[in-house]
Amino acid sequence: MLETSRNTRPDGRRDLVTELLGLWLLLAVFLDGWAHINLPGLETFFTPWHAALYSGMLATAAWTAVVIWRNRTPGQPLLQAAPPGYRGTAVGVVLFAVAGGLDLLWHEILGIEVSLDALVSPTHLLLGFSQFLILGTAVRSARAAGHGSIGHGAAGHRAASHAGNPELTPAALFAVVLMTGLGAFFLIYVSAFVRPGPTALFTPTPVGTPGRIQAELPVVITLASYLLTTALIIAPFLFTLSAAGRPARGIVTMLVAAAAWLPVVMIGLRPTSIAGAAGTTVAAIVVDLLLTRVPETWLGRRLPAVTAGIAALLWTGQLVAFAVTDAIRWPVSLWLGAVVLSAAVAAGLALLSSWGRSPLPREL
């Protein structure tokens, strides 16, 4: 009985250390991405940026080994000694080592990627998946311990609270933000924060006009970027909401910071991107303040309206920043349509997340 208790008990400090090591890995990934974008002459695997990444992984591997060893009871098989959530971490560490070796072999045979292919290279995607496993440690730990009844919504959260379980741990919340940042890295080519967007000149071209497809392609990509970036922010927001029952303090601002500022720094701090990220961040702060006043019933049956409002406010903040610092050159039907479509995506995600869930009772 004592052995079981020791192997399953949560440890917030331990998880927080793991996530801080995850932050090291995430920043190293963006640093390496910055080098690929801004130093096109890279022709070797052995760079200071790879050293930052792989030293972070060595530190993570050592910490994971220490955590498992300390949790082990006398006579217990090592494979059973991992605390809740840390088996996935160990798998991530091993997978990263395998992917790193394959990446070295890939670069030695095929050379160094210098463009979009670096983000979709199979070995880099495998490295990304292994990091996702590592960054998700605190979420798995909280789920195993029953913290916040992750995945059961507000009603499940209240039941968990009555049972004595605390809310989603700070380490788990931090993990969600870090995983959002990792997603932003691998989706940077469709990020609404790194493109000129509505500040770029666009002249509507009638159907059938030669060159119309080429003229509209940047706008099409930007519209898709708005939709995907909206999903990148709203999906983790909904996950944390399902875990804690109420929006965590500052959650939207933290998610925007991960999804916006890390890519903006990676591409080289372009003025337009800085302005757009700043405007969205200010809007995110406003959203977080408004969320503290949202009635609990709105987080049930009216949740699609709440998430649609979040998306609309975020992108309105970006557009205002563009208008103040530069100019909006898209026709109003286009930029307003981008906001409406983004709000629709956010509402759709909320509807899917609550599908089949019992509605919350009305407050008396």
Q: Give residue-wise pLDDT tens across range 102-160.
A: 878 876 677 666 667 667 788 889 989 999 999 999 999 888 876 444 444 444 444 44
Specify the 3-state DSSP secondary structure of 199: helix
pLDDT tens sequence across 31-64:
888 887 777 665 656 678 778 888 999 999 999 9
Q: Binning pLDDT at 50, 70 and 90, where does residue 73 land? A: confident
Instruction: Write out 57-93 in H/E/C secondary structure.
Output: HHHHHHHHHHHHHHHCCCCCCHHHCCCCCHHHHHHHH
Would you call 47 exposed, middle or buried from its count of C-beta atoms within 10 A (0-12, 13-18, 19+)? middle
Prediction pTM value: 0.85
Q: Report in angstroms the alpha-carbon separations of 84 from 11, 58, 123, 188, 238.
A: 10, 21, 28, 32, 23
Lowest mean pLDDT among 24-28, 93-97, 201-205, 299-303: 201-205
Please give the Cα distance from 357 to 211 (Å, whole number).
49
DSSP label at residue 258:
I
Comparing 69-78, 254-263, 316-325, the range with the smallest average pLDDT is 69-78
Q: Is residue 327 within 8 Å of 246, Cβ to Cβ?
A: no
**Tokens read off for 67:** 């955590």
Q: Tell me the per-residue pLDDT of 267-276, one tens digit each, with 9 for 90 and over.
A: 888 899 999 9
pLDDT digits (tens, 9 = 90+) for 310-329: 999 999 999 999 999 988 99
**Tens of pLDDT, residues 212-230:** 777 788 888 999 999 999 9
The per-residue pLDDT for 298 is 80
Query: Which of 137-141, 149-153, 175-179, 284-288 comes out lowest in average pLDDT?
Result: 149-153
